[in-house]
Chain A
């Protein structure tokens, strides 16, 4: 029986294990230094906020693993030895593998800021980071102010977490507007407003110069590069993105770039070693995607793909249409297809933007200037149906078709106010068109002919 060893029990590794078990009878061993059981990383914030206990963010009951003959090993892999197909856990226990899947995820970026390793300076990625946060910022008396460095998804989540315990938060964002390397201008502006509504001290175009230590080696304050202002604080959240967690592979002979280099089959340069999830780096980016995609969904998709390959059905990693989602405090965000920010915008890409006059609701639709093809949509505060946009993108529908049938894609709960007529009216006036909204049609949505 073949021995499959998976390093990492995150969504990528676990999905691979589950699908290998579905397809085969191979022996499966998962090694993790982080936790005994798989948990949803994206839900760590809710544990700190008291919405859930840690148990709740574990998607499978504890008996699941034994029942499915998935062996779990707790420990850090310290060395991988491809010559004799062996790896060492915690420097001592040796494991043999026939096939090895590296799914070790990421670690928070640190860019060499002075003081970045002081007590009270931390990232937010792992279970250990969460435990550390309970030490550094258990309440507003111990943590009188927190400064968060880095305006991305983890930064805004950390801000939300700390605010749930009434801890004052200063949020340093390098860009001139929140996440505007990804979001188009109007959306980014709306999120700026929303962050401030939540009483978060948002500082745009602000970089961290240094973190100042007190006499005990603990964070005392941070200095802002642009203004020289010193902000006293007890916690510094370092949330300027993540980087693949692959240091233990330095001398293994596996080809590394920023991540573990893989081809489209998720194979590394060494036979029988694969890499998936956050830590994998494509030689060449796929379509408009980045070579490293630290996203829950891509981790899951790579896990499904590599399981097929390992079980004898070698197939390429071919992600479908891009999609993603997030929640910025109270505002839900979904995206389907490609809508680029001002920075990343293609020459052929044009946008239509609509924003509700009072509420924090908006959408941006991207389309092709010349042939009017629908390219993608960002929605804030309106839920949309994944299946519909996936279908429209595959069918290469026109912008006009998408606007006409926008109601079919609405996924808001029943009785919610619908905005399609306002959206289409604005669209018509922006582009001199006379599109009429179709009525919602279940037959179209569920595709019954």
Chain B
């Protein structure tokens, strides 16, 4: 048994205690949050713009002061001292409290926005009203619960992004990557869509109005992008609307596959994506809490791929539901669409089974065949019976259950609320269909790998411990094997924390990528050949 006690006190001994500066910084940050909490309980602030500024500045200043005190006096290098002693980062009492608070926030946000002060068709109240000035300045409209969430989300990524960059100031990959995440969140997720809303009704859009569109949010993560109301908005908004719709389609079928081939899925997951952005910045303190067991890996594979199947069925059904049947009006009809989906899935399935089968585990092959058959049967049932319900369920039922189960509960409540308990990438690992699809390509058809450096691994376990995706990196590195795992988001932390310089994320030729180097260098060649015989 370990002999240390996991104290919840903020005092105590280094490295788990907080310095005086850190305590003051925490208080300042908490003060900023308290203003919002008070607003949520309908304490009326006279000058909303000013109080919002004070609140957000306090959160920012508190985080930065804390960061400054943590790292400025220390030399550049790995800063993991005491991670497993601190209550907040080792599932201690503070960790649980933070987890419960976050979970509670998400439940209110998704299901009870009126408690945040949302008033439909009237003046906002509570904390949402506090954000009205900012929202009006950006889009001209009053705030919604999503605007509040988006603002806080952006503040979190920016403030903790700076903390992360300071923590890893010796590591240029981490610094550049974090700047990228901060940029995409601020510009693409937060500011651009708000400014786009100003165009609504303008003649540049032919008087139409665009749906709220975060351009970097690609289907199937953005599972609602092709729903009927959005398609209508796109198509009624002139050339710009049409261009955006085309971009949405291209980003799924062209941009994503090309970039994933060249750089692995990290181009998205740890450089662009908002979910990844929050996980890498605000969630960084919890990355080591991910479960590394083989059991967790098995659960992950089934759950995340089931979500892919779910989102594919759901989207197909939704698109199907608003398509017409008359070819003379519009070339894409219900039946051409279904045939197209079936054809595309068959091509992918056939390619994998013909050329990549030996790279799949037995259960993965069964899973692929099983899911393929299920989808095809459902498509077939419809095609030959021709009634209105595709896939046994009404498309609206599918859409609603996906949005509730996956969109809200999984990605929000569990995915982010449970950061301090299950680690910061629960959603990305077990739930995100976008990550699963790119992961599938990353495993089978990409130049990306993590190279293990010959025989230098000492099996210490830092890489596995700090892998937020729960990959047992060490299991590969200690055999001298490259790491080519579909779940790897390319955050680069395994490489950063390795004390012996064993791991390098790189893009290289496909040949020899997976079994790159199954030998531990150091022995003479004869023995290496013997050891490598299978």
Q: Which A residues contact B (CB, under 8 angstroms)?
A: 11, 19, 40, 42-43, 46-47, 49-54, 56-59, 61, 131, 134-135, 138-141, 164-166, 197-198, 296-298, 300-301, 304-305, 308, 313, 315, 318-321, 323, 325-327, 329-330, 332, 334, 383-387, 390, 411-417, 442-443, 445-446, 448
**A50-B16, A56-B465, A385-B454 known; A330 and B509 CB under 8 Å?**
no
Say yes or no: B523 contacts A53, CB within 8 Å. Answer: no
Contact of B461 with A40 in the complex, beta carbons under 8 Å: yes
Shortest distance between the CB of B2 and any CB in chain A (Å):
6
Kindly list chain B residues whose C-beta atoms are within 8 Å of the C-beta of A329.
75, 77
Beta-carbon contact of A40 and B75 below 8 Å: no
The one of A49, A54, A301, A387 that contacts B454, using a Cβ cutoff of 8 Å: A387
Pair A319/B524 contact, Cβ less than 8 Å:
yes
Q: 22 interchain pairs (CB within 8 A)?
A: A40-B458, A43-B458, A46-B461, A50-B81, A51-B80, A61-B294, A138-B3, A138-B4, A140-B14, A164-B14, A165-B14, A296-B458, A320-B525, A321-B522, A330-B78, A332-B499, A386-B454, A387-B517, A413-B171, A413-B495, A413-B504, A415-B172
A53 B2 Cβ-Cβ under 8 A: yes
- 6 more contacts with CB within 8 A, not counting A46-B461, A51-B78, A166-B14, are A139-B13, A164-B15, A301-B522, A301-B527, A417-B172, A446-B512
B490 CB to closest chain A CB, in angstroms?
Answer: 10
Complex CA–CA separation, A313 to B533 (angstroms): 13
Whether the Cβ atoms of B461 and A332 lie closer than 8 Å is no
The chain B residue sitting closest to A390, CB to CB, is B521
Contact yes or no, B456 A325, CB < 8 A: yes
What's the least CB distance linking A172 to chain B, in Å?
A: 23
B460 contact set on A, CB distance < 8 A: 40, 42-43, 46, 57
Most chain A CB within a 10 A radius of its CB, from B4, B455, B459: B459
Closest to A387 in B: B454
Alpha-carbon distance A166/B495, docked complex (angstroms):
27
Stretch at the interface among B82-90, B231-239, B409-417: B82-90
The 5 closest A-B pairs by CB, nearest first: A386-B454, A330-B77, A383-B501, A43-B460, A139-B13
Contacts of A166 in B (CB 8 A): 13-15
From the candidates B170, B506, B520, B526, name the one contacting A300 in the complex (CB within 8 A): B520
Q: How far is the CA of A296 from the CA of B502 in the complex (A)?
A: 15
Inter-subunit contact B81/A49 (CB<8 Å): yes
Q: Is A59 within 8 A of B461, CB to CB?
A: yes
Contact present for A325 and B500 (CB under 8 Å): yes
Does B464 belong to the interface (CB within 8 Å)? yes
- A198: chain B residues at CB < 8 Å are 75
Give, as a whole number of angstroms, the nearest-CB distance from B386 to chain A.
52
Judging by beta carbons under 8 Å apart, are B462 and A51 in contact?
Answer: yes
What residues of B have a CB within 8 angstroms of the CB of A51 in the complex? Answer: 78, 80-81, 83-84, 462, 465, 497
B80 contacts which of A50, A59, A446 (Cβ < 8 Å)?
A: A50
Total number of B residues with any Cβ neighbor in A under 8 Å:
65
Using a CB-CB cutoff of 8 Å, which residues 402-461 of chain B contact chain A? 451, 453-456, 458-461
Contact across chains for B13 and A411 when beta carbons are under 8 A apart:
no
Q: How far is the CA of A130 from the CA of B500 in the complex (A)?
A: 22
Cβ A413 vs Cβ B530 within 8 A: no
Q: Is the CB of A46 within 8 A of B15?
A: no
Asked whether A52 lies within 8 Å of B14 as measured between CB atoms, the reply is no
A385 touches B82 (CB 8 A): no
The smallest beta-carbon distance between B86 and chain A, in angstroms, is 8
Residues of chain A within 8 A of B454, CB atoms compared: 323, 385-387, 390
A56–B80 Cα distance when bound, in Å, is: 14
Q: How far is the CA of A297 from the CA of B525 in the complex (A)?
A: 16
Residues of A within 8 A of B172 (CB): 413, 415-417
B512 CB contacts on chain A under 8 angstroms: 446
Min CB gap A386→B, angstroms? 3
Chain A residue numbers with a CB within 8 Å of B521 are 320, 323, 386-387, 390
How far is it, in angstroms, between the C-alpha of A318 and the C-alpha of B527 when the chains are bound? 8
| B176 close to chain A: CB less than 8 A | yes
B16 smallest CB distance to A (angstroms):
7
Q: List the A side residues contacting B379 at CB < 8 Å.
A: none
Contacting pair A305 B458 (CB below 8 A): no
Q: Which residue of A lies closest to B172 (CB)?
A: A415
Tell me the complex Cα distance, A330–B294, Å: 32
Which residue of chain B is the closest to A386 with respect to CB atoms? B454
When distances are taken between beta carbons in the complex, the residues of chain B under 8 Å from A315 are: 526-527, 530
Q: Could you say which residues of chain A place their CB within 8 Å of the CB of B148?
A: none
Closest CB in chain A relative to B382 CB, distance in Å: 45
Q: Mark B468-503 against chain A: 1 for CB-CB distance below 8 A, else 0.
A: 000000110010000000000000100111011100
In the complex, what distance in Å separates the CA atom of A321 from the CA atom of B522? 6
A332 in contact with B509 (CB, 8 Å): no
Complex CA distance for A167 and B293, rounded to whole angstroms: 35
A334 touches B523 (CB 8 A): no
With a CB–CB cut-off of 8 A, which chain B residues contact A298?
522
Provide the residues of chain A in CB contact with B475, threshold 8 Å. 59
- B273-322, CB < 8 A from A: 293-294
B43 to chain A, nearest CB (A): 40
**Separation of A52 and B459 alpha carbons in the complex (Å):** 13
Most buried by B among A40, A321, A384, A390: A40
Question: Counting CB contacts under 8 A, is B116 at the interface?
Answer: no
Contacts of A326 in B (CB 8 A): 500
A417 to B173 CA separation, bound complex (whole angstroms): 10
Q: CA–CA, A238 to B85, complex, Å?
A: 26
Partner of A383 from the list B75, B492, B504, B517 (CB cut-off 8 Å) is: B504
B76 at interface, CB cutoff 8 A: yes
Chain A contacts of B523 at CB under 8 A? 301, 304-305, 318-320
* Residues in B neighbouring A40, C-beta threshold 8 A: 458-461
Q: Is B511 an interface residue (CB 8 A)?
A: yes
Confirm or deny: B143 has a beta carbon within 8 angstroms of a beta carbon on chain A.
no
Are A305 and B508 in contact, with the CB atoms below 8 A?
no
Contact of B500 with A43 in the complex, beta carbons under 8 Å:
no
Nearest CB in chain A to that of B82: its residue: A50
Return the chain B residue nearest A44 by Cβ.
Answer: B460
Interchain CA distance A320-B453 in the complex, whole Å: 16
Please give, as numbers and ranges, the residues of chain A lying within 8 Å of B171 by CB-CB distance.
413
Q: Find chain B residues with CB under 8 A from A383 CB.
A: 453, 501, 504
Say if the beta carbon of B531 comes within 8 Å of chain A.
yes
Closest residue of chain B to A383, judged by CB? B501
B75 near A330: Cβ-Cβ < 8 Å: yes
Are the CB atoms of B462 and A43 closer together than 8 Å? yes
B82 / chain A contacts, CB cutoff of 8 Å: 49-50, 164
Q: Which chain A positions have C-beta within 8 A of B492?
A: 413
- Give every chain B residue within 8 A of A52 (Cβ-Cβ): 84, 461-462, 465
With A49-B81, A140-B14, A323-B454 as contacts: A54 and B2 at CB distance below 8 Å: yes
Closest chain A residue to B15, Cβ basis: A164
Bound complex: CA of A52 vs CA of B454, how far in Å? Answer: 24
Given the known A-B contacts A165-B13, A319-B524, A416-B172, are A332 and B501 also in contact in the complex, defined by CB atoms under 8 Å? yes
In chain B, positions 153-194 with a C-beta closer than 8 Å to chain A are: 170-173, 176
B218 at the interface (CB under 8 A from A): no
Residues in chain B near residue A53, CB distance under 8 A: 2, 84
A131 to B2 CA separation, bound complex (whole angstroms): 8
Q: How far is the CB of B269 from chain A (nearest CB, A)?
A: 16
Contact B501 A415 (CB under 8 A): no
